[in-house]
Amino acid sequence: MKDGEGLAILKYESQKAETGFDPDGVEVAIAPHRDQTLSLYAEYGLTGRLTLQSKVAATRGHDDFVDYEGLGAVELGLRYALLHTDRSAVSLYLGAARDGVGRNAGYAAPGQGDADLEARLLAGTSGRWRAMQGFAELQVARLKRSGLADETRVDATAGLRPSPRWLLMVQTYAGQADSHPVRSRWCKSEISLTRDLGAWSVQAGWRQAVLGRETPADRGPVLAVWRRF
């Protein structure tokens, strides 16, 4: 993010599951549950290399055992550009989060979890493919969690603009928790389409768990409004 520039994203996510992945990765029936989250993510360029990031969320959900509603996770951190060229960038993010009343981990009960510390390395590049502008990004993170097992996460994004105002994105969110006796794993795929409207953008997509172990096979829509300033 350039010095003095910012981005805000208001996002709604609705995820439900009637099946989950057992310790062997086999999809089996589970007690149905649904989770809904409304979050506001913001980032602001403090300098040419340093960006402030924050996120706050409200969440609610229910299953056969519990209903919950209230404040979700609150996150705050700094991202520093280690390398930046016209086409590529490598950054390091360090942040902290306070867990909320909802599902702070897919394998955990609602409300379980306290505070997290996160270190994340991000690498991205952009270019043209068949006269269309595109980009790719890979993120690797390690989370030290209080009240939950520590986690390693790997997120990947590929984006392509079929026209200047439209952006097609395919994203993968994967991770593993240091939980015992079984290490929970997950891999979720998301596809979305974003339409630029000047300084604003609107996004609609679908996210679904495709692989996992000791985690729900949740799925559902993702809707967002972006504002650049």
Nearest CA-CA partner of 21 in 211, 175, 178, 219: 211
In the structure encoding, which two tokens stand for residue 105, read together? 């981990």
The pLDDT of residue 184 is: 96
Taking the C-alpha atoms of residue 94 and residue 47, their distance in angstroms, rounded to an integer, is: 16
The pLDDT of residue 106 is: 83
Domain residue extents for the chain: 6-228
Beta-carbon count within 10 A of 229 CB: 10
Consecutive 10-residue runs of the chain (229 residues): their mean pLDDT? Answer: 93 97 96 95 97 97 88 97 95 97 86 95 94 96 96 98 96 96 96 97 98 96 97
Which pTM does this prediction carry? Answer: 0.94
Chain centroid to Cα 149, Å, comes to 18
- In a 13 Å sphere around the CA of 95, the CA atoms on its Cβ side amount to 21
For 189, residues 6+ apart whose C-beta sits below 8 A from its C-beta are 170, 171, 172, 207, 208, 210
The pLDDT of residue 216 is: 95
Taking the C-alpha atoms of residue 37 and residue 106, their distance in angstroms, rounded to an integer, is: 14
DSSP code per residue over 10-70: EEEEEEEEEEEE-TTS-EEEEEEEEEEEEEEEEEEESSSSEEEEEEEEEEEEE-SS-EEEE
**What's the length of the chain?**
229
Pair 118, 153: CB distance under 8 Å: no
Taking the C-alpha atoms of residue 197 and residue 164, their distance in angstroms, rounded to an integer, is: 11
Q: pLDDT for 171-211, tens place per residue?
A: 999 999 999 889 999 999 999 999 999 999 999 999 999 99
Distances (CA, A) of 74 to 70, 144, 152, 201, 202: 12, 16, 19, 24, 23
The C-alpha R_g of the chain, in whole angstroms, comes to 18
The pLDDT of residue 129 is: 84
Beta-carbon count within 10 A of 168 CB: 16
CATH fold of 6-228, please? Porin (2.40.160)
The pLDDT of residue 18 is: 96
The pLDDT of residue 196 is: 97
For 118, residues 6+ apart whose C-beta sits below 8 A from its C-beta are 77, 93, 94, 95, 96, 97, 141, 142, 143, 144
CA angle 50, 227, 132 (to 5 degrees): 85
The pLDDT of residue 188 is: 98
